Chains A and B, each alone.
Chain A
Amino acid sequence: MSEDVWSARDTSPSAIEAALRTLLSRRYQEDRTFVPARVMNLVVIVERGFRGEVENRLARVGRYHPSRLVIVAVEEGRTQLDAWATVAAEDAVHKPGHIAVGRERVEVDVGTQLLGSLDTIVDPLLVSDLTTMVWAPHGHQEGVDALRRLTNIVLIDTQDEPEPRLAFERAADLARSAYVVDLAWLRSTPWRERVAATFDPPAMRGALDSIDKVVVRHREDSTAAGVLFCGWLSTRLGWRPEALAHRGTALAGHARARRGEVALELRPEPMGSPGLGGVTITTASGDSVSLDRGPGGLRAVRHARDGEEQSWTVMGASRGEAGILGEGVRQALLRDPTYKPALEAGRVLVS
């Protein structure tokens, strides 16, 4: 990997943009195999003191790393704009058919007073006509709001907010002007896929209409993922959810299905990584299916009313938190029509 670097203190957005153009032009001249990646702009707003931690998370994202990364490092009391720009590429292999895909990274250090007008700083730094995604892992809602006119996608994690109701309200507000990719939602993806697969065989599809209880086990800080999962089931199966209430450490309540009530329960359980740990779905006939984290995939257990039990492993590797973030970046260019309805149902569940 080789890298060209530019930096300046007390600079301006137009100077940074000019420097990027110069770096790119120099790269082209030096290396004919250089091709700048043109996937998306990713604007990350971070606390300056924690930007290394966020960059480490992005580095682990690997191949999903976006093409132009603009890091806005926010620092209380800062009055001048400092910036660093780099253009990096894999070392050239001068063989036919080889290209060196380049990535651009810009870091701009700003004071908190500039968050409200962040769009005027970021706008010149974006590649025109590319999709722009904004991620603010340390909050900075003012900065995110300032960038709304430039933003196509907002990457959020509703799990970061201890109060799911507030997290969902913010997500719904952002979803009015941009496409929202929610990492908490993505943590529930394998569970949604597996539940869909469980009820996919024609003999099982009828059982979807007779579900009468859903229990979701989640890590203590991952209530949002559990609520979104229940919201998803509700919207896909035509249930009308009602507000959940605290029952000990759990949240419990009902959704109204055509056949009657469906009991919903979210149970926090100790577990290593965030997200869901298990799901049990019971039908009116007394049959149930459970999925729980296990080695090499999810452990599935099917209990029949007559006491017969079957178990097997649904194969799949854990993606880990880096994988979730990578999936978030990748999902930015796709569209999942089921998130917004699930979010709205989730808002009812935690209202």
Chain B
Amino acid sequence: MSMAVAEQQEQNPLVEGLERLPVPPTALVIFGATGDLAHRKLLPALYNLAHEGALPERFKLIGVARREKGHDNFRDECRTSICEYSRRTPDDQVLDGLLGHVQYVASNFDDPDGYARLAKALDKLDQETGQPLNRAYYLSTAPEFFPVIIEQLKAAGLHRHKQADVRCVIEKPFGTDLQTARRLQKVVDSVFRERQVFRIDHYLGKETVQNVMAFRFANMMFEPVWNRNYIDHIQITGAEDIGIGTRAGYYDQAGALRDLVQNHMLQLVALTCMEPPATFEADQVRDEKVKVLTAIRPPSPDETVRAQYTAGTVGGEEAKGYLQEEGVPAGSHTETYAALALEVHNWRWAGVPIFLRTGKRLARKVTEIAVQFKPVPHLAFQSEGSVGVQPNQLILTVQPNEGVSISLGAKIPGSKMRIRPVNMEFLYGSAFMSQSPEAYERLILDAMRGDATLFTRNDEVDAQWTIIDPILQRWHATDGNGLPTYEAGTAGPAEADELLGARTWRAL
């Protein structure tokens, strides 16, 4: 239970036992409200929260974007997006009700007049509802506008309110390297207190990512062996079978390392390796994650691999190479695959390599954490005529086949004592009845309630960039040396195999 929830239960005796806890009256302001993220994810998430009765009793939404349009035009666009992308068919009456609380403010993000209009609109909403509404500013714009918007909010006096909480939700990426992240943080620090800031890493909103903590800290049987004495190595994979689609503009600037490793995959490392927090209060969880991240040294050149996909076959269909994708500049050195070998230098994990790999256009889509245990110290069984005793593996699958599997050695039926590995599996789809909400539903609600457990704190982001920044600089300096390649539809470049030495990657 987070501190926010505990406090709420202490002060309001009616909330005990309720699944949906009350959310304070809130005006949510989405900057970049006409963008892709808002229309595909945020608006459908808001609709689903409204459908379930989970939005605050008094809720208002203001969309801010550059394009000139009226409230009704914006509402129509919201309706279209919700109908197209919502995980459930919208109920007309609820949708009408939600859209009735939607307004639009057209403004360039650096235009002080726009913020004055926003301030006026917010004040008017306070008057209409008869109480000051909490403000939640959701920055869903291109990242270069984050500091601009934050500074303008301050200039307009919108960053604080005497009678209401003001929160700022910042989408990823938080910086494009260590320097820019620190520069952005400086701006954030000059306007908001850390408790007002909610940095989104939507992976943390996924049920299966949260289950990593549940799995580790709710089961007595794993924690005693969760250390260097029993674990040989860990592999974390974030593989995609798709290419870059229409995102060439973004992806060619970012690359695989920034896109997935710096944020999502390092968060998975932190969750896998952290010590048990005393409580699930936001800062206690984040303190433990930071300890892990700061115990990782940036990998040396021979501990990193980057590559780019060439034309190949994916799922029986021909796939273009990265350089042939629409919008990719000729001769681009952007990596579409990255693999790293890391180590957490602390008592628990010293000597246990942690291998990360991610890539586009790989053989299949899978995100998983594979924990490979050490072999048994003595083999009493025959290996002839069978695969023999294999070290145990524990696989936490984040997507698409969400669950946990453990490989165990079992006797092959017959007269001989021969062993082969078998799997013991838990699958979310077969063990839970409820449909998981989209990550954004949980995150928006948590931000409005002020619960930061599933958001990354400033020092986490800084520690993540501290690991990644030297790699980026080194890769940038050696861009002219040519980039390893891998054929689309394969498991990645041969160079990545060398990273593991005598070990091998799990089959995708």
Contacts and interface: CB of A to CB of B under 8 A. Distances in A.
B53 A315 contact: yes
B53 A314 contact: yes
Given A99-B427, A199-B14, A317 B51 contact: yes
12 contacts: A96-B401, A99-B429, A189-B18, A193-B20, A196-B14, A197-B22, A208-B14, A296-B96, A297-B93, A315-B59, A316-B52, A338-B17
A51 interface: no
A342 B343 CA distance: 53
A207 to B, nearest CB: 11
Contacts of A98: 401
Given A205-B11, A316-B52, A297 B97 contact: yes
Interface in A216-242: 233, 236-238
A236 B53 contact: no
B279 to A, nearest CB: 20
A38 B426 CA distance: 10
Contacts of A297: 53, 93-94, 97
Contact of A236 (B13, B50, B59, B400): B13
B32 interface: no
Contacts of A248: none
A160 to B, nearest CB: 23
Interface in B263-317: none
Given A99-B401, A193-B20, A296-B96, A314 B51 contact: no
A84 interface: no
Contacts of A189: 18
B7 to A, nearest CB: 11
Interface of B: 8, 11-25, 50-53, 55-59, 91, 93-94, 96-98, 129-131, 364-366, 399-401, 425, 427, 429-435
Nearest to B19: A334
A310 to B, nearest CB: 5
Size class of the A contact interface (CB-based, 8 Å): 35 or more
Contacts of B399: 97
Contacts of A312: 57-58, 129
A39 B433 CA distance: 7
A197 B21 CA distance: 8
B97 A296 contact: yes
B46 to A, nearest CB: 10
Interface of A: 35-39, 63-67, 96-99, 101, 189-190, 192-203, 205, 208, 233, 236-238, 295-297, 300, 302, 310, 312-317, 329-330, 333-334, 336-339
A208 B15 CA distance: 13
A174 B80 CA distance: 49
Contact of B50 (A199, A203, A233, A316): A316
Contacts of A336: 17
A66 B400 CA distance: 23
Given A65-B433, A97-B400, A317-B93, 7 more contacts: A99-B429, A197-B22, A208-B12, A295-B97, A315-B97, A330-B434, A339-B17
Contacts of A338: 16-17
Contacts of A195: 14
Contacts of A197: 22-23, 56-57
A317 B23 CA distance: 18
Contacts of A35: 425, 427, 429-430
Contacts of B365: 96-97
Contacts of B400: 96-97
B502 to A, nearest CB: 28
B102 to A, nearest CB: 12
A37 B430 contact: yes
A315 B434 contact: no
Contact of A39 (B8, B14, B59, B432): B432
Contacts of A37: 430-431
